[in-house]
Structure 1
Amino acid sequence: MTVAASARPVSPVAGPGVGPLLRSWRERRRISQLELALRADSSARHISFIETGRSRPSEEMVLRLAERLQVPVRERNALLLAAGYAPRYPETPLDDPALDALRDGLERLIRGYEPYPALVVDAGYTVVAANRGIALLLEGVPEKLLAPAPNAMRLALHPEGLAPRIRNLRQWRGHLLAQMEREIALHRSERLRALYEEVAAYPVPEREPEAEPAEPVPHFALPLRVEHAGRVLSFVSSISTFNTPMDITVAELAIETFLPADRATADHLRALTG
């Protein structure tokens, strides 16, 4: 659904109002009214009046406060509606022709990362693009987890997914669940909470003691250690998002790349895809 931007006031939506919503975001960020006022070039008195409903903020002020509070783009629309303004940020379907250049760029980016794994996920961890490195790691995963819209968290933690092959499953599982907890706190998404409850309930299989890696595991990041073709491959991951997105769909995309954590992993991947 595309939402047109407009400065024309509209009727506020039913709910607590923009003041309590802004106060909630400020408290979540653990900053005082004075600190927020300084960041937003305002006064603590004005911030207090907005939060208590004694003053109606302008559209510009709502957006400025949302920016200083690092409110997600989707939630900025909710703040604008609560203040009586039209939503500012559209939500363009990813398959819309308007995003052709974006999709092409993402595909080129993750293909260029080969032979190392890389994928693109949305706010619910649905995989919207993946390269051959990811396909290699997912060999043997049942089709029911791969189609029609695979979910990265299910692929990693489901007992029929990668979980039985992840040598440091408890560590990696803890990392993924903590990542989801942070996203839930930030976005307050019921969809994401339901996914979290599902994957957190998956059984964690008993494992034999881990074999030592061929090379020392780097201490700068937690590695993913996963079995493939009789070898244990080690990766460290990074996640990238878009700077200053003006569309909800784009704002909620994340690119995750997996860098080999040792020379043996890099050599193995190059040999397989060379």
Structure 2
Amino acid sequence: MDTRLKPVGELLRAWRERRRLSQLALSLDAGISTRHLSYVETGRAQPSRETLLLLAGELEVPLRERNLLLLAAGYAPIFRETAMQAADFAPIRAALERILAAHAPCPAVAIDRHWNLVAANAGVAPLLEGVSPALLSPPANVLRLSLHPEGLAPRIVNLAEWRAHLMARLDRQIAESGDPALLGLRQELAGYPHPAEAQGDGALGELAVPLRLATPGGVLNFISTSMVFGAPRDITLEELAIEAFLPADDATARAMRSG
């Protein structure tokens, strides 16, 4: 954790401004006075641990950052971060494996908060043929795999459209979290060669942005869905997400069934 913490009031104000809330709106949501919130933000008042957690909850601050708020206010962190391979995490690993396996033969991956690959099902490996081994070395990053010129990018038929979709998701994540690692990843991705303009992709593109991937057996068309675990109390669990891909047409569904 960063030991050079800013004052807790300054951190709270930054989260409030990131969420585009006024002091009045936040104080009403949290059920505290606007004056007290103002005093907390300016350092004239020290928030209790309960008030700090209440404000963090209203601001939807990630658990990792709630620990930093607690530290900045002089309190001990309360949210733990369990290693993926820890014994306590076994039920989550089992659930993750069941979800990924159930989605096969369609591809699905589990990622962490920085889009690093945590797990993948059997449907993913065949789609990665020809990808540079360097991009597959742990920790393999899913966005880098998708958009790097030595990754999947040359085989993505609608690369400009798919890239715009991924970059927009990343931008929203950066705006919500303020994570400098994600900002660095975005700067890297922005430097990759890419088509100048995203074009619409027919009738399907009117509903959702598809992933159209060229393979030796023809073009596969997928739509994607994202899943997170509900009501997490652990940092690792909160930061896990599952990205699953579903056939967008009958030909792709047949190709998935036939392997």
| Same topology, TM > 0.5 | yes
**Structure 1 stretches of 4+ moved >4 Å:** none
The one-character-per-residue Cα deviations of 1:231-260 (angstroms, maximum 9, x if unpaired) are: 111111111112221111111111111111
Contact 2:160–2:196 at 8 Å: present in 1 too? Answer: no
Q: TM-score, normalised by structure 2?
A: 0.92
Partner in structure 2 of residue 25 of structure 1: 15
What residue is the counterpart of 1:152 in the other structure?
A: 142
**1:114 partner amino acid:** A
The aligned counterpart of 1:187 is 177
The CA distance in 2 between the partners of 1:199 and 1:63, in whole Å, is 35
C-alpha distance in 1 between matches for 2:5 and 2:185: 26
- Per-residue CA deviations over 1:92-148 (Å, capped at 9, x if unaligned) read 111111111111110110110111111000111110100112112112223222123
Question: Which residue of structure 1 lines up, in the alignment, with residue 235 of structure 2?
Answer: 248
Contact 1:145 1:161 in 2 (8 A): yes
- Tell me the distance in 2 between the aligned counterparts of 1:225 and 1:131: 19
Give the number of equivalent residue pairs: 257
Instruction: Write the distance in 1 (CA, Å) between the matches of 2:65 and 2:25.
Output: 21
Q: Counterparts in 2 of 1:105-254, with a 5 A limit?
A: 105-204=95-194, 216-217=203-204, 219-254=206-241
How big is the shift at 1:218? Answer: 5.1
> Please, which of 84, 87, 90 is the counterpart of residue 80 of structure 2?
90
Q: Distance in 2 between matches of 1:16 and 1:160?
A: 41
Unaligned runs of 5+ in 1: 2-12
Whether the aligned pair in 2 keeps the contact of 1:225 and 1:232 (CA below 8 Å) is: yes
Q: 8 Å contact 1:117–1:132 — kept in the other structure?
A: yes
> Aligned partners of 1:252, 1:229: CA distance in 2, in Å?
35
**Is 1:16 matched up with 2:39?**
no
Letter in 2 for 1:72: P
- Calculate percent identity across the aligned residue pairs: 51
Q: Deviations over 1:41-66 (max 9, x none)?
A: 21212211111112111101111100
CA distance in 1, matches of 2:8, 2:158: 45
Cα pair 2:108 2:243 within 8 Å, conserved: yes
Q: Assess, with a 3 A threshold, how the Cα gap between structure 1 residues 102 and 85 changes in structure 2: closer, same or farther.
A: same
In structure 2, the residue matched to 1:258 is: 245
Contact 1:227 1:233 in 2 (8 A): yes
- Shift in Å, 1:156: 0.3
The question of 1:63 aligning with 2:53 is answered: yes
SS at match of 2:125: helix
8 Å contact kept, 1:25–1:71: yes
Give the C-alpha shift of residue 230 in structure 1.
3.6
Shift of 1:188: 2.5
Q: Distance in 1 between matches of 2:8 and 2:138?
A: 39
Quote the RMSD (CA, aligned, Å): 2.1
- C-alpha distance in 2, partners of 1:170/1:48? 45
Query: SS of 1:56's equivalent?
Result: coil
Counterpart residue type for residue 268 of structure 1 = A
CA distance in 2 between partners of 1:108 and 1:142 (Å): 29
* TM-score between both structures, scaled by the size of structure 1: 0.87
The 1:226/1:14 distance shift into structure 2, 3 A limit, reads closer
Deviations 1:197-235 (A, max 9, x none): 22221112699xx9x87xx42522111111112411111
AA in 1 matched with 2:209 = L
2:250 counterpart letter in structure 1 = R
Q: Which runs of 5+ in 2 are unaligned?
A: none
